[in-house]
Amino acid sequence: LHFSTNIICLAILSGSFFLGKEELVILNSWVQEFFSFVGY
């Protein structure tokens, strides 16, 4: 689980360079939904 969260954080960091701020907000909200679903 920690390994997958590291991959997700890395994807967010790399995505912030390629995506605009609007897409980043959508991605961030999706990640928060994912973590609330997992149990974080």
pLDDT at position 40:
59
Torsion angle defined by CA atoms of residues 4, 10, 13 and 14, in that order, rounded to the nearest 10 degrees = -120
pLDDT, tens digit, for every residue of 1-40? Answer: 577 888 888 887 777 777 667 777 887 888 888 888 877 5
Could you state, in order of their start, the residue ranges of all structural domains in the chain? 2-38
pLDDT at residue 19 in the model = 66
What is this structure's pTM? 0.40
Find the helix packing angle between 21-38 and 2-18, rounded to 10°.
170
How far is the CA of 20 from the CAs of 9, 26, 31, 33, 36, in angstroms? Answer: 17, 10, 16, 20, 24
Q: What is the pLDDT of residue 35?
A: 82
